[in-house]
Amino acid sequence: MALKRIVVDVLKGETVFPPPVWLMRQAGRYLPEYRETRKSAGSFLDVCYNPDLAVEVTLQPIRRFGFDASIVFSDILVVPHALGRDLRFEEGRGPLMTPIEPWEVERLDRETFHVNLSPVYETVRRLRQELPPETTLIGFCGAPWTVATYMIAGHGTPDQAPARLFAYQHPVQFAELLNLLADLSGEYLIRQIEAGADVVQVFDSWSGVLDEACFETFCVQPMARIVRCVRARFPDVPIIGFPKGAGCRYETYRGLTGVDALGLDWTVPMHQAQRLQAGGAVQGNLDPLRLVVGGRALEEGVGRILDGLGDGPLVFNLGHGITPQAPIVHVESMLQQIRGARR
């Protein structure tokens, strides 16, 4: 009998109830075992680039909660780091980089890109061996627009004004940067699939700050380029696109990129989510703060998603990453409600 990985089945259009579940950032600071591992590791990047540690923290939420999917522990900014850009993470400030200048785009070091990312590929290989066979393994990368925002500003900003200004003032270099990131990100995802990933997800965390024309040029077109690259090598591997904040443009995004499934943020109204689900699988979209508060707020949020989207292909998830403040008992309550749901 063929092995069933229900997340893969759902992403290909099958309806399963109760739906499978995993959480974005499920291996992270809300887990005491992660905090202990991190203490012994040194920096965040030391964890990302050490397969022993990366495998361990990726497995921790699977051991504790038995999620239906596991996402490799890494970061979207390992891609520019592998291109030779400096990168560090500071507590309370997040990722910090030296802002890239327009003339530096053509000098990005492509030659050692995959060599620099070899620890990630090794982590994926080992995870596929150590995960329960029924657990879906998800590889990922950041979308070119979102990765570019950090490369240009050097840090996170509320509205990504530095990247938008760069794009308007230096359109040739910006287009070159997006195309390079799209091509290398596609290769990066292919290498993760070759190492054992069953599914890949692309995070476009800052798509919601763009106007209509820029959304298509900066988000949709690079993502379509990634999808074509991956599909040319692995036509049957599901691809999840997560254009956070896309709002009414989710439909355009799905139609023009060709992704198999849409990750929905928590602001997407149910009537829109249902319309999107009619065109294929959706993933999401519980407000992460409901998981922090627990109780009635959590129960109502979970129930609404199960009632509204449970009759179609759904991977239950949050509308963004789990926060460090989320109590473990609330995760347990959420899983109990999902897994105990009946039609």
- 150 carries an active-site annotation: yes
User: How far is CA 137 from its chain centroid?
Assistant: 12
Locate tokens 């922090």: which residue? 292
Alpha helices in 158-200 (DSSP H): 161-169, 171-195
Annotated catalytic residue, options 34, 49, 150, 250: 150
Task: List, as one string, the DSSP characters of 212-266.
Answer: HHHIIIIIIHHHHHHHHHHHHH-TTS-EEEEETT-GGGHHHHHHHH--SEEEPPT
**What 3-state DSSP class applies to 325?**
coil
Q: Give the separation between CA 62 and CA 69, rounded to whole angstroms.
A: 8
Which tokens sit at 289? Answer: 């703060």
Q: Give the separation between CA 214 and CA 201, rounded to whole angstroms.
A: 22
Annotated catalytic residue, options 9, 29, 64, 231: 29
- 228 carries an active-site annotation: no
Instruction: Give bridge partners of residue 262 from the DSSP assignment.
Output: 241, 282
Annotated catalytic residue, options 75, 198, 204, 265: 75
Annotated catalytic residue, options 5, 30, 34, 38: 38
**DSSP structure class, residue 104:** G
Annotated catalytic residue, options 5, 25, 225, 290: 25
- 30 carries an active-site annotation: no
Q: Which of 255, 176, 179 is nearest to 222 (CA)?
A: 179
Catalytic residue IDs: 25, 29, 38, 75, 150
